[in-house]
Amino acid sequence: MVRALCERWHTETSSFHLLVGEMTITLDDVYNLLHIPIQGRMLDHDAVMDRDLGLDLMIRLLGMSEADARAEARTESGGHISYPTLKRLYEAHLTETRRLEAQQTREEMQEEAVVCEEFSSISRR
């Protein structure tokens, strides 16, 4: 389902384009569906995240290189990541995923063509 929604997301309008029309997610939707508060601090850590933990999370969970994570930690003064950097990482991962899916689709089509050729040569005998 997430993949289907990603395919229908249009960044130009910040909305989903569905068969029934255009759909936009509001803060009220976020609150009602995900129970994420829309007032106050969104992330309220019990303890202050130190630089080393932030670096580890950026490298391990976001796939950043160590050099990029260290540069981000210097820019953001600790174990945090800026929204533009997070958006850039997401877009890079999305682009790579689409490229791999397209490559997989081409390979599947080539395999199907080979099977069809083999089947047609067998059926001609």
The predicted-structure confidence for 17-51, as pLDDT tens digits, reads as follows: 888 888 888 878 878 888 776 776 555 556 667 88
The secondary structure element, H or E, covering residue 15 is: strand 15-18
Residue 57 makes CB contacts below 8 A (sequence gap 6+) with 79
Q: How confident is the model at residue 67 (pLDDT cuts 50, 70, 90)?
A: very high
Question: Which two three-digit tokens encode residue 59?
Answer: 């490298």
Q: Which residue has the higher pLDDT, 61 or 30?
A: 61
Predicted TM-score (pTM) of this structure: 0.47
Give the model confidence (pLDDT) of 77-124 as tens digits: 777 888 888 889 989 888 888 888 888 777 777 777 777 777 666 656
Residue 60 has pLDDT above 80, yes or no: yes
Q: What is the DSSP letter of 27?
A: H
Element (H, E) at 67: helix 66-76
**Cα–Cα distance, 47 to 29 (Å, whole number):** 29
Q: Tell me the average pLDDT across 40-66.
A: 79
